[in-house]
Copies of this chain bind each other. A is one copy, B any other.
């Protein structure tokens, strides 16, 4: 019978992680938004002097076949953020387990491993965003003690895309140490 293990991702996992990222985006009905590929993940997570993220993977372990029979079935990708109220914190961008491997405790173990990372890094809390219709995920997080800050305090997430960013910069001078605009 197959078991599973959770471990830190390696560069060689990027193709597999990318497959799972696309699956998750399809589940979230936003798959047209996936623009990066395995080579971007590899560069940004493993080749930079300051990696942009850290990633855990869950893989099956087939009895005595060792790694030969293993397959990535889930991942959890997170990175540092910074609260001006509480200092360094951790943001969980994605956590995902393939539908056919759910109900085995893999998601719980991934989240517990992220929690351990968060605590060991001295972070003040763990944050993440969930789509309001994704009730299974919301129930999962609430059962672990998560607090819905959007509901409790009223936070809305906003985004500005490059075209509008460029529009904003076109009418102003660069940030400067000279009082050029005084």
- Which residues on A are within 8 Å of B, measured CB to CB? 2-8, 21, 24-25, 30, 33-36, 40-41, 44, 49-50, 52-53, 56, 61, 63, 77, 79-88, 91, 93-94, 108-109, 111-113, 115-119, 124-133, 138, 141, 144-151, 153-169, 171-172, 174-182
User: A167 near B145 (CB under 8 angstroms)?
Assistant: yes
Q: Is the interface of A mostly helix, strand, loop or mixed?
A: mixed
- Known contacts: A3-B182, A181-B3, A182-B5. The answer to whether A147 contacts B159 by CB under 8 A is yes
Question: In the assembled complex, which residues on chain B have CB atoms less than 8 Å from the CB atom of A126?
Answer: 159-160, 165
CA distance A157 to B177 in the complex (A): 36
CA distance A102 to B6 in the complex (A): 51
